[in-house]
Structure 1
Amino acid sequence: MTGTTRPRIRLLLPAALAALAVTATTAAASTSPTTTAPHPVTSPDHRAHAKNPKVMLDAWLRLWNGDYTEAPGIISPEFTVHAALLDGGDGSGIHGADGLVAWIAQTRGAFPDLRFSLQTDPLIAGHRASVRWTATGTYAGGFPGAKARPGTRVTFTGTDTLRIEDGKFVEYWLNSDTLQLLTQLRAL
C-alpha cells in the first residue's frame, strides 16, 4: 500500500484485528478524499510451493508480514475464511488470493509495522497445517472507542489452521486473542 490513504474493504483478520482494521480504516477513509485498493497479486512462479506444506507455511508467514508476491502460489481461488468477527461476521466474505491480500493490507493499515512470528514449530498432518503465532505492531489510531494513543505498541497471539488441497491453501480457521488486543488498545 502506498501513500496515506487506506482502502475501504470489509475484512476479517485475526478475529478482532480484522474488525479493528475495518472500523479504523473506514473512519480514516471517510475523512480522505480518495481511497485505493491494494494492487492485484502476482507471482513469478506459482509452482515453487506446490505440495510442500512447510514451504507453504513459510510463505504464509511472509504474506501476513506484508510480502504479497507469493499469495497466488499458496492460495487457492476457492480459498475461504472461518473466523468470529467483532462485527458479528463469520469471515465468509474473503475469497481467493486477492481477497486475502486485501484483508491483510487493510489490517496493516491500522498497524503498519505489524510483524507475525511463530511461537512453536508448525503442526502438519495430512492435508492440514496449524501454526501458533505472536503479532506485534504499532497502533496507528482511528479505532472508535480505543483510548490508546497512536504509537501504542500491541502484542497478541493466535492460531491459524489451514486445509491444503492440490498444493494450495483452500480453507483457513482463525482463533486470536481478541481480549488481549482490545485491552492494549484500551477499547473495553
Structure 2
Amino acid sequence: MMRDFGIDLFDRWTAMWNGDLALADQIMAPEFTLRYAQPGATVYDDIHHPRALATQIATSRESIPGLRFAPQGDAVIEMDDARTGFVARPYGAQFTGAGGAPVAVSGTDILRTTNGVITEVWSVSGGLGGRSFY
C-alpha cells in the first residue's frame, strides 16, 4: 500500500514538472526545501512554497521547447503508515536543443515526505555541459 502511494506521488511530481502546475498545491508541503545539484538550478534553492515552485516551473518550461520528464526504472520507497519517509527514482528528460536536435538527460530525484506531502527534494542530473534544463 505504501509502495503504491510512493509510486503515485512520484508520478504526480513528474506530472507537475510536465506542466500540471495545480499539483504543486496538492503534493508539496506549505513549506519545503529543494536541493538541486546541477548547473543553472540554483534558482530553486530559495523556493520554499508551492505557488513559487509552480511559477518557476512554468518559467523554465517556456524557455525549453518540448521539455518532457518521465520516471525510469524502479522506485525505492521507505515509508511508514503515516506516509512519512522517502521515495527515490531515476527519471529521464527530453527536449529540443539548439538547431532542433533532440536532447536526453537522466537523473535521480529523492523525495522526503511527511504525512503524505513532499517536504524536501534532492535532485541530481547529468547536466548539459554547464547548461541546466531547469
Alpha carbons 2:38, 2:125 under 8 Å: kept: no
Runs of 4+ in 1 over 3 A off after TM superposition: 87-91
How big is the shift at 1:94?
1.2
More strand by share: 2
Give the superposition deviation at 1:96.
1.8
What is the alpha-carbon distance in structure 1 between the residues aligned to residue 59 and residue 75 of structure 2?
26
Structure 1 residue aligned with 2:12: 59
1:60-117 Cα shifts (integer Å, max 9, x gaps): 1111111112221100111110123535948421112112212221221221321111
Q: Which has the larger Rg?
A: 1
Cα distance between partner residues in 2 of 1:89 and 1:104:
13
Aligned mates of 2:15, 2:43 — CA distance in 1: 24
Contact 2:96 2:102 in 1 (8 A): yes
Q: Taking structure 1 as reference, are residues 91 and 69 closer, same or farther at Cα in structure 2, changes over 3 Å only? A: closer
**Partner residue in 2 for 1:174:** 123
CA change 1:88–1:105 in 2 (3 A) is closer
In the TM superposition, 1:73-112 aligns within 5 A as 73-86=26-39, 89=42, 91-112=44-65
Please tell me whether the aligned partners of residues 65 and 114 of structure 1 are also in contact (alpha carbons under 8 angstroms). Answer: yes
1:117-132 maps to which residues of 2 (within 5 A)?
117-126=70-79, 127-132=85-90
Q: Tell me the secondary structure at the aligned position of residue 95 of structure 1.
A: coil
SS across alignment from 1:108:
helix
Percent of paired sites with the same residue: 33
Q: Is the 8 A contact 1:83 1:90 kept in 2?
A: no
TM-score (norm 1): 0.58
What count of residue pairs does the alignment treat as equivalent? 123
Quote the residue 1:136 is aligned against.
94
TM-score normalised over the length of structure 2: 0.80
Say which is worse superposed, 89-98 or 68-77, in terms of deviation: 89-98
d(CA) in 2 for partners of 1:78, 1:88 = 19
Alpha-carbon RMSD across the aligned residues, in angstroms, is 2.3
Classify 1:96/1:182 alpha carbon distance in 2 versus 1 (closer, same or farther; 3 Å): same
- The answer for unaligned runs of 5 or more in structure 1 is 1-50, 140-147
